[in-house]
Structure formats: C-alpha cells, structure tokens
Structure 1
Amino acid sequence: MTNYPGASGNGDPASREQQGSDAGFGSRVDQLGSEAQQLWSDARGAVDDLGQTLDIRGRVERNPYGMMAAAIGVGYVLGGGLFTPLTARILRLGVRLAALPFVKDELLGMAETALQGYQTGRRMSGPPPSPPMDGTAAADASAAGKPRPPSY
C-alpha cells in the first residue's frame, strides 16, 4: 500500500496518530485554491489591461466593417486556412494587383522616352518645308501647270 505523507486512511497506525496533529492535506488544498484564485484574477487583470490598450470597443464603434474584416481574417488564419490553395490564389492576385502601378509607371516612362526620342529626331532632320500662304503659292502653282487652289 502506498503511503502519502499527511493523507488519511493509509492504514498505518503512525499515520492515524498524525491525523489530529497534521492537517497538511487540507491546508495544501486551501493553499492551491487560493493560488488558483490569484492566478485567475491576475489573468483577468491582464486581459482587461490588454482590452484597454487595444480599445476594442472604441475601434468597433469607429470602424465596424474594418473590425468585421479583421475578425474574419483572424478566424480564417486560426481555422487553418493559411496554407490552402485558396490562400495561394488570393496572394497571387494580390501581388499582381500590387505590381500593376509599378508596371504602369515603367511603361509610361518608356513611352515618354520613346516620344522624346522621336521628337528629337524630327527636329534634327527638320520638318518638310510648308508652302507659303500668301499669293506667291498660287502664282508658283500656275507657273508649274498645276491647278490653282480655290480662294475664299
């Protein structure tokens, strides 16, 4: 038979003599109960402090839809949805959408450079001469045997 110190009913005559003088088991249970209550109150205080720091109620009142989205996200992650094919697809789409402005800026920069190069090339070669708009153009055209432009 196993003997526990301070436990009653061991069958040992010496332990029966100690029952009256040694009430260790009852006091130990009381001590454990009080320590458990202290731990519970400390944990409750820590949760209250965290709640005040995060201001959950205030955030819900100021931005209820954002907090719902955050709750859904936390539930998705805690529910094991982080390493699923759906998450991989969502991340790929997010990366593509995030990269879109950078690609657009690069393409616009390349187009501007090409346009500037085209304009610089036209300036260097020079535009074709335009005919003068006075009466000499009509005289030159009739001298060359070309039909005369209408005058308004």
Structure 2
Amino acid sequence: MTTFQSPQNNGAASGTDTEGFGQRVDQIGVDAQQLWSDARSAVTGLSETLDIRGRVDRNPYGMVLAAVGVGYVLGGGLFTPLTARVLKLGVRLAALPFVKDELLGMAEAALQGFQAGQSNVSGQGNAAGIGTAAPRTSGPGTIS
C-alpha cells in the first residue's frame, strides 16, 4: 500500500516528495519489466513443454482437428443440439463392441446348451434301448 505525505509548506512540494515519487515510478517500471520477463519465460516454458511446432510437423491433420475442436468448444458449440446428436451417436458406436460380444456369448452358450441337450437325448436313448433296432427272434409265426 502506498502512503502519500501531505505537503509541509502550504501546498508547495518538497524535494523529498518528488524524489519519493520518482523512486516509486522507477520501482513500478522495474516490477513491470520483471513481470514481463516472467510471463515470457512462462510462455516459452509452456511452448517447449507442449512442443506445438514438433507436433504440427509430425501430425498436421491431427493438429488441425484439435484446433477445430478447441475452436468449437470455445465458440460455444458444446451445448448445442448438434453436439447432443454427435455424442449420442458416439455412445452407440462405443457400445457396439460390448453389445456384439454379449450377443456372441449368448449365442455360443445357447449353441452349447443345444448340443449338450442333443448328446444327452441320444446318450439316454442308447442306454435304455430306445432308438436302436431290437433283435428279431424267430418264433412260430415269423419267417426268417
């Protein structure tokens, strides 16, 4: 906080007040230069960390798409009907592999159950003598 001294001799500025004001202005200038150099170093550090130029060189189309996405979000397109439709489609497409896997699992389980049921029926029929031809015995009324 800056405190100002009131003039001592009926409104005339003394030499110490002028020197104090000049020192404050110089200090503000030094602080502004320090702030500017700190901001430049922060931006330089951020750009080195993100490596924007290298990313653009390695993957130009991806960076264009990223820029379009950032522009869309910053432009207010996040809460629009188009975004809702795109998200709904994205969720459906993302869920498709899970649904496919579940349907394939259910189909395999049903097929295995059907095959197990068929083998049980044929196995029980043979053990009980059902489904096999009984030997013919020759008796008085049969012709062999």
Pick the TM interval, shorter chain.
Answer: 0.7 to 0.9
Q: Which has the higher contact order (CA 8 A, sep 6+)?
A: 1
1:39 maps to: 35
1:22 maps to: 17
Contact 1:6 1:15 survives alignment (8 Å):
no
Deviations 1:75-102 (A, max 9, x none): 1111121122111111111110000000
Deviations 1:114-144 (A, max 9, x none): 11111112222229x8xxxxxxxxxxxxxxx
Show the 5 A alignment for 1:1-152: 5=4, 13-18=9-14, 20-23=15-18, 24-126=20-122
Q: Give RMSD over aligned pairs.
A: 2.5
2:127 maps to: none
CA distance in 1, matches of 2:53, 2:91: 33
Question: What stretches of structure 2 of length at least 5 have no aligned partner?
Answer: 124-130, 132-144
CA distance in 1, matches of 2:106, 2:26: 79
Question: What stretches of structure 1 of length at least 5 have no aligned partner?
Answer: 130-152
Size of the alignment, in residue pairs?
A: 122
The TM-score with structure 2 as length reference comes to: 0.74
How high is the sequence identity, in percent, across the aligned residues? 68
Q: Secondary structure of the equivalent of 2:78?
A: coil
The list of structure 1 runs, each at least 4 consecutive aligned residues, that deviate by more than 4 angstroms after superposition, is: none
Give the drift of 1:25: 2.2
CA distance in 1, matches of 2:13, 2:76: 59
